Structure 1
């Protein structure tokens, strides 16, 4: 009974979101952006643990991430850990959106952690299992990381590596997320990273992102299908193994990944009704679809 009630509540939420999205095209404030390479090869879904480097591949494109450092209690340095899960994805979408709209490397995060989190659709909460501490931890991990891309094919190779940020000022207290500080928190993106995310960003609808923000896989699938819908001119069929390798390498097995992916695709398609796809046995087949954000925006 409890499971049925949760399903009914979720269906009602999606129906309301569908009505909002279909009632009008997204305004400028409703549009979010994501770097196209990070749509094709995505960040970790779950904690990779204490590793020196993490990587994922998609055909000729490889992504790798190195964690930043922090000062340990003994005065030495230790790895800060790698960014993973939903928060870095939401933060990265915010970064790409700000860069696309304003074209600046230095981004103001505001005087309140609470207001920044709410702007990203995250509800602040305190305590040991609250959102504020985990959010700020993931933000520090992301801003301190180094991201590298390698494009390779026979006879040619191209590499790009950059720290996400070369300067970060965080004045927030996660124990008091409503506290306003004397100075605004800010981050300055490295020049190399700034240049890389300006190229061919993928637009998406923030109203849809708000509904799927609790799942890293759902966020990845939404940006990925949005990207695919804009570039394909005929149906494309991929095995679940191929989709898994691009978006879900953290899953223990492909069948479990496929089951979750089908569930999230169904949720996304309830809101983005123009998304056309099929899931024949062992495959995902995408058809050319009207993008969730009209091209002329």
Structure 2
């Protein structure tokens, strides 16, 4: 059999099938046998293509958020967690998070407790282009959390408290699944608002025992360089640099919690789901036996905005189900009494198997 009559090997595209093709070529098979092996690989590629097309049709019919979760789940089925998807967040922010929803501008403080720890956030102010003082809201919602993850990740990657973000921030916004459009209601404008709120706020972290209280207060962002537009009716451009305070950077280096950017993207529209994913990463790392947590404790941790626990329970169960759509091996079980969390390998959180040990907060 001549090369002219040999099946078209360009139809074989998947890496594993291409590898199998090369193996067959090295076997020095008779042309007819090689053609048969190539045809089998082409048929397998055709089946995969048909299955992929069918899956794409299913995905397109799904609501946006469900489709996003399904796409990330499919990715994790086909690929092991990769180091390039690794991001970081300060572990304290995985224990005691920010507000879920926008608070009125005249609300200048926010507190959150979890066990024997608390976070107190105080809103601040910035100067406008004309030098006037502009009150900033308390940082809130998923975008504030995503920004903190991005800044913490860049500080770890760049090994510096001063983070060059002029060229990385827009790419980060796109990576998280948002468009990079500006305008009054554009995603970039919303991200800019949260970055300004974070740049102006102060944070106090407290922990206590029966006879001792320890508190540490700091501005997470010590300095921010922003280029202002020359046109009065145009907003500021992205900052070129953001500098963490010494306290924040020093603490981050000791307590950097690894997370997977793809998993984060799956939950990018929900502050509570992000908090749950971050919290599970911290908890799973710090337990050696099953941990039982009551509904009262879960409500204290994640129930902000609910007046009735039964309403929160229903929503929480739904959101845990969404996490398991993406991460089906989460060692988490809900019972009538609360939540049971078991020790597990980092892979259940879509993390690479090797990571630096975290110090307990």
- Asked if residue 157 in structure 1 is aligned to residue 219 in structure 2, the reply is no
- Asked if residue 138 in structure 1 is aligned to residue 194 in structure 2, the reply is yes
Alignment of 1:43-122 (within 5 A): 43-49=98-104, 50-71=106-127, 77=133, 79-111=135-167, 114-122=170-178
Residue 290 (structure 2) aligns with: 235
* Preserved CA contact (<8 Å) 2:290 2:340: yes
Residue 273 (structure 1) aligns with: 328
Q: 1:172 to 1:121 in 2, by over 3 A?
A: farther
Q: 1:240 to 1:125 in 2, by over 3 A?
A: farther
Alignment of 1:242-257 (within 5 A): 242-257=297-312
Q: Which range moves more in the overlay, 120-129 or 18-27?
A: 120-129
Q: CA deviation at 1:266?
A: 1.2
1:169 is aligned, of 204, 207, 225, to: 225
1:153 and 1:97 map into 2 onto residues whose CA distance is: 31
Q: More relative contact order in 1 or in 2 (CA 8 Å, sep 6+)?
A: 1
- Asked if residue 221 in structure 1 is aligned to residue 276 in structure 2, the reply is yes
Report the TM-score, using the length of structure 1 for normalisation: 0.86
Q: CA deviation at 1:65?
A: 0.6
Structure 1 residues without counterparts, runs of 5 or longer: none
* Preserved CA contact (<8 Å) 1:274 1:290: no
Q: 1:71 to 1:268 in 2, by over 3 A?
A: same
3-state DSSP class of the match of 2:344?
Answer: coil
* Preserved CA contact (<8 Å) 1:239 1:282: yes
Structure 2 residues without counterparts, runs of 5 or longer: 1-59, 356-361
3-state DSSP class of the match of 1:110?
Answer: coil
1:201 and 1:24 map into 2 onto residues whose CA distance is: 25
Residue 354 (structure 2) aligns with: 296
Q: CA deviation at 1:253?
A: 3.1
2:169 and 2:239 map into 1 onto residues whose CA distance is: 10
Q: Which range moves more in the overlay, 101-110 or 210-219?
A: 101-110
2:99 and 2:210 map into 1 onto residues whose CA distance is: 28
1:6 and 1:54 map into 2 onto residues whose CA distance is: 40
* Preserved CA contact (<8 Å) 2:69 2:267: no
2:252 is aligned, of 197, 207, 211, to: 197
